Structure 1
């Protein structure tokens, strides 16, 4: 996830990013990105496609982001570490 996060924050539209694993029937697990946008100037579906395509051009096929969700803020601990468990819990069915 750290490699994808480092790449994502270099995208011009991305302010902050976190990547977690997401269960997938075919692959077992795939990367899911949580993104905080710098500005809300384009439609989110257009932004999602553009960001996922941009990442796909720069990483190996198995590292491509398969799911993307826009959020207001990446949850972090007091020391600045990403709270991945909080993000993974958002995806669990209730």
Structure 2
């Protein structure tokens, strides 16, 4: 099991980024959360099998939303709380 935190910047709010991220997480059996930040970024906590997390990260940094664009991102590999599903948080 691998756990990560990602913060993405760019055109990531108002373009369906969170919902597309959730769709990819559900396809890869990833649990966690995704939410908009006040500074215009999107915050993600994700956990799952190592290969699934690697594929998830690739999808997120290439923007899961066709209208979105990720210009910058940071990834921290560490423990997040134990999630049972992937949710969009408001």
TM-score (ref. length: structure 1): 0.41
- Structure with greater helix percent: 1
TM-score (ref. length: structure 2): 0.42
- Structure with greater strand percent: 2
Query: Which is higher, the Rg of structure 1 or of structure 2?
Result: 1
